[in-house]
Amino acid sequence: MEEVAKVSFMFILTGLLVGLMFGFTLQRGRY
Amino acid sequence: MNTAFRDVIFINDMTMFRSWLLALVIAIIGSNLIEDFGFLGDDGLRRQVFSPLAAILGGYIFGLGIVLAGGCGSGVLYKQGEGQFAAVVATFGFVISLIASFHGILNPVIKAIKSFQVSLGSGEDAITNPALWDFFGQSLTIKWTVIAIVIAIMAAIVLKGKPFSARAKKGWSWAVGGVVIGLLVIIAWWTSYFYGAQARGLSFSGPTSDFFMFVLTGNSQAPFDPMFDFFGIGTLTWSALYVIGVPIGAYISAKGLKEFKLTSPRQADELVRVFIGGLIMGFGAALAGG
């Protein structure tokens, strides 16, 4: 798919945060 | 996912399976609510084409792979954050077969098996990516009736027996983990739509390929998802970013519980096993569609 825009601060922050919270939860829950 | 099914089959323990179902219940309700209230734009939740053969075969192969690898896609990523070297090796196998399946020599095989598709209706009105309720009708009433029946069945399994008698010694209980994961799935549907320009949710096979393709070639080469210019270094999808966030989050959690420890299997054949498991689950995941 074609490139649509440059990354924004929120693009990077939300992407990393979703992963960070998910990884944190998986570890806490012993999944 | 690996833990949820493994515990039911091998030690007859429903705890993690309950947690997985609880996360699904919350994710199904929340994701469809934000879709129906218009928070995901005109396209809504991205549903894949219905390819039963690929789904069944891919799911079976994926199941074999995750048992050998010791975790599913997100499982091997978070276990890296705990310091498990075997998870790094499993991820290595996972990435190789994912990229071979999406972009390399295995792609023709994937395409051939996925070409067996089932649609509802015909002509311009055909639904190529039907949801379960599409088999019964198109109205919101039918949709939420089907969802209610599915949720009732799942809830009955979650609440069967004495679900709250088993508690984790450290970390979170199955119920807290299930609720948080369900909420994160809903959040990911919205953030992937709002910041990533495509409601993609929280899958791991495509995004893991996106992340490593970006690292290795400078281009995620995502076939269906919008890509963004990353400071002139390359192009990547929004979803590629959460792939790197998972081991970091797990590392923070493990450090907090004093559980972080660099570990490696003593037997070399175990490393070979997890590597082959990673290879198998990568192909299975790509075939099944996530």
User: Does B249 contact chain A (CB < 8 Å)?
Assistant: yes
pTM (2 d.p.): 0.93
Q: Which chain B positions have a beta carbon within 8 Å of A23's beta carbon?
A: 74, 77-78, 81, 245-251, 253
Per-residue pLDDT reduced to its tens digit, B46-104:
888 889 999 999 999 999 999 999 999 999 999 999 999 999 999 999 999 999 999 99
Q: Please state the rounded mean pLDDT for residues B260-270.
A: 94
B 3-22 residues with CB < 8 A to A: 3-4, 16, 19
Report the DSSP beta bridge partners of residue B235.
B219, B229
Q: Please state the rounded mean pLDDT for residues B98-116.
A: 96
Interchain CB distance below 8 Å, B249 and A6: no
User: Does B228 contact chain A (CB < 8 Å)?
Assistant: yes
Is pLDDT larger for residue B16 or for residue B275?
B275
User: Does A9 contact chain B (CB < 8 Å)?
Assistant: no
Report the distance separating Cα B30 and Cα B80, nearest Å: 30
Nearest to B228 among A5, A28, A30 (CB): A5
CA distance A30 to chain B (A): 8
Pull the structure tokens for residue B214: 């970006």
Is the pLDDT at B2 greater than 80, yes or no?
no
Q: What is the helix (H) or strand (E) element at residue B23, kind and residue range?
A: helix B15-36
Report the distance separating Cα B95 and Cα B188, nearest Å: 22
Q: Which chain A positions have a beta carbon within 8 Å of B249's beta carbon?
A: 19-27
